[in-house]
Amino acid sequence: MTKTYGPFLDQASLAERWLISQRTLEAWRNRGIGPTVTKIGSRVRYRLDDVESYEAAHLQHGGFIGR
């Protein structure tokens, strides 16, 4: 179950939300991929608004492309 901390998600919750590993999120963060990160002390947090904006910006509409 995804946990929110006020308007934030922790790394484990975002990984669960997107069905990817935390290591993938770490690698993406190091490469500048993904939503903006907030660091509070040593803790990494993702603002829920930033996550939802990132998701909306990366929506792709599938469809059948015939020959």
Q: How far is Cα 16 from Cα 22, in angstroms, rounded to an integer?
A: 8
pLDDT more than 90, % of the chain: 73
pLDDT more than 70, % of the chain: 84
Domain count of the fold of the chain: 1
The answer to whether position 66 is within a domain reads: no
Q: How far is Cα 19 from Cα 22, in angstroms, rounded to an integer?
A: 9
pTM to 2 decimal places: 0.79
The answer to whether position 28 is within a domain reads: yes
pLDDT beyond 90 at 10: yes
**In this structure, what CATH number is given to the domain that contains residue 13?**
1.10.10
Q: Which domain, by its residues, includes 26?
A: 4-57
Q: Are 2 and 41 in contact (CB under 8 A)?
A: no
The answer to whether position 65 is within a domain reads: no
Secondary structure class of 5 (helix, strand, coil): strand
pLDDT beyond 70 at 64: no
Under the banding of pLDDT at 50, 70 and 90, the label for residue 66 is: low
